[in-house]
Chains A and B, each alone.
Chain A
Amino acid sequence: MSSIGKGDLILEIADLAVDVQGQRILDGVNLAVRAGEVHAIMGPNGAGKSTLSQLLAGRSGYEVKRGTVRYLGEDLLTLPAEERARRGLFLGFQYPVEIPGVNNVYLLKAALNARRRQHGLPEVDAFDFLGLVRDKMRLMQIDESFLSRGVNEGFSGGEKKRNEILQMTILEPTLAILDETDSGLDIDALKVVAHGVNGLRREDRAVVLVTHYQRLLDHIVPDRVHVLVGGRILKSGDRDLALELERRGYDWVRQEATAA
């Protein structure tokens, strides 16, 4: 893990085509994410953004028709989901699921230990762990009652999203993919989330933000912005591209691409 340096390739997607239930959702995606970078993937509804995030995290039900995905130099698509997670790939869910009766802290501890085992580290000490969780909770402005509640059980939309970021800051992933983490957040919660993500930015890590809206990018400034339309990345640019999308919508990107 420590051998990753700034500029190393973390994720490399080449000509990726994916079907879901016989329908082509992704159709030739190319993307390279290097250590130290934050990428934003923007696009209209149904462009394939969530399919891409879920596929990378290893969800079943997606049929890869063409192309390759390499993560830290390895063929990502042959690894089972839990193996990807242990190697530092984290997905912040768009709709985090509730698991009644399973304590938040318990799941989080199991997750951290799974990751530590991968690196030959001993299980985390219960006392140290609780201290760590409390610190991060303060940072994420999460209420103390969180410690005794079930996983996302009865959480509001904003609480669920903050919990995702809390998990992320504790698991310290090499590659974090955040699937519309900003949707449904008010401006204060958005700032808290952005603060959590910015705290994770480091030379040996990368973040991919999947989002509809530009407003998250006011708080987390991306190195690259990509526009995913109709299963393809039609345009890439820097931060200004996000601002232009905000102003002009997505149609012009589509038109520009068909004209070319």
Chain B
Amino acid sequence: MLIGENSVGEFYSVAVANHYQQADTGTKMIHVGRNTRSTIVSKGISAGNAQNSYRGLVKILASADGARNHTQCDSLLMSDRCGAHTFPYIEVKNPTATAEHEATTSKISEDQLFYCLQRGLSQEDAVNMIVSGFCKNVFKELPMEFAVEAQNLLAVSLEGAVG
């Protein structure tokens, strides 16, 4: 809830779904005050047979003059049996407000993997490197120690996940 004038909300997330998991994650940003701003960056990684969904609500009330939201939703597919879905709900009641939504879906490519292998990286390291790159603009918002932890956790979650 962004109530006070000029208040700012930020949401950064990385969601990983592997095996047969189904994930449905997201956030709400409710703009009440004037000139409130919010940013949402959501990265979804699907592996195995998993389905990963982003579901987010951006609500800008009539009172929120000049409110701004930017949402970026990127999905990475690690196999050809998984899926990614994006459900952005945007409700704008104020004509001076701006809401932007950007979404991309990409598949970890054979070319990227082979390129890394040809440079001598193991399959495992190559996958971790590509996935970390994909999550970079979320991880860079984290304190360093936590970013390292997050990266390691990601590596463990995706062990042997390409295929």
Contacts and interface: CB of A to CB of B under 8 A. Distances in A.
Interface string B112-126: 101111111111010
Given A101-B135, A107-B129, A82 B115 contact: no
Contacts of B119: 85, 107-108, 110-111, 114, 167, 171
Contacts of B120: 82, 85-86, 110-111, 114-115, 118, 171
Count class of interface residues, chain B: 20 to 34
A97 interface: yes
Contacts of B149: none
B62 interface: no
Contacts of B133: 99-102, 150-151
Contact of A81 (B109, B117, B125, B130): B117
A99 B130 contact: yes
B136 A101 contact: yes
Contacts of A86: 120
A230 interface: no
B66 to A, nearest CB: 32
A97 B118 contact: no
Given A97-B109, A97-B111, A110-B125, A102 B117 contact: no
B159 to A, nearest CB: 17
Nearest to B137: A101
B54 interface: no
Interface in B3-30: none
A113 to B, nearest CB: 8
B123 A82 contact: yes
Contact of A111 (B114, B121, B130, B132): B121
Interface of B: 109, 111-112, 114-123, 125, 129-130, 132-137
Interface of A: 57-59, 80-82, 84-86, 90-91, 93, 95-97, 99-102, 106-108, 110-111, 114-115, 118, 150-151, 167, 171
Given A102-B132, A118-B120, 4 more contacts: A99-B116, A101-B134, A114-B119, A171-B119
